[in-house]
Amino acid sequence: MNASRTARERVRAELIREITDIARRQLATEGAAGLSLRAVAREMGMVSSAIYRYFPSRDDLLTALIIDGYNAIGEAVERADGSCARDDFTGRWHAVCRAVREWALAHPHEYALLYGSPVPGYRAPDDTIAPAVRDTAVFGRIVADAHRAGKLVPPPICPPPPAILAEDAEVVRSLIPDAPDDVITRAIVAWTGLFGMVSFELFGQFNNTITHRAELFEHNMTCLARLVGLPE
């Protein structure tokens, strides 16, 4: 009786998978706005209304793609970090930066879905929170490891962060354990700087201006690493 139930369930899971796969391909070629349930159904040889058995609305399909996307970039970042010597903190930072940029360049529309303009009227459900910080968690671990190893020496150019930021730092500290508030705010500068660079490149702000983007990226990530206090 369980086997029979799972028979149906398995077909259902298979179809859900096929829908998200096709949707992801459409997302990659057309962008989020061009994602059409009818087109997915057409490609599956289904009638459009049948899709609604599996995803009650277009937004729910989008949510599935967002979660997949966060997991994909998170995994890419984890793999990049994992391929470095544990005590090569600066190398790990650069590997992570490169992974983010390369994943973004390889999946521009998915990146835009995750880190670009929010889809209007779309409210991300709570399921997206956990996958959304996978990449950030990796970064936090690098900083925390470096700090624990006594290798984190922030240059004395930033003032101490205002006391009011301490409570926010408390939340972030779950990602960067034991780090002092100053390190945490610097880490935020670096992390937002990384995505600022990638977004500028991907969203066209470098058009007609910057041509050697990989080199500029590498160099700027080095500057940010130094700002955080990662060793040379």
Interface with DNA by CB under 7 A: which residues? Answer: 1, 4-5, 7-8, 12, 15, 35-39, 45-50, 52-54, 56-59
CB of 141 or CB of 226, closer to a second copy: 226
7 binds, among DNA, a second copy, none (CB under 5 to 8 A by kind): DNA
CB of 160 to DNA, least distance (A): 49
Q: What's the CA gap between 228 and 218, in Å, rounded?
A: 15
Q: Binding of a second copy at residue 188 (CB under 8 A)?
A: yes
199 binds a second copy (CB under 8 A): yes
Instruction: Report how far apart, in Å, the C-alpha atoms of 157 and of each of 140, 154, 185 are.
Output: 22, 8, 13
CB 39 within 8 A of CB 26: yes
Q: Are 202 and 104 spatial neighbours (Cβ–Cβ below 8 Å)?
A: yes
196 vs 176: CA distance, rounded Å: 21
Read off the DSSP letter of residue 80: H
Nearer to a second copy, 54 or 99 (CB): 99
CB of 119 to DNA, least distance (A): 11
CB of 5 to a second copy, least distance (A): 36
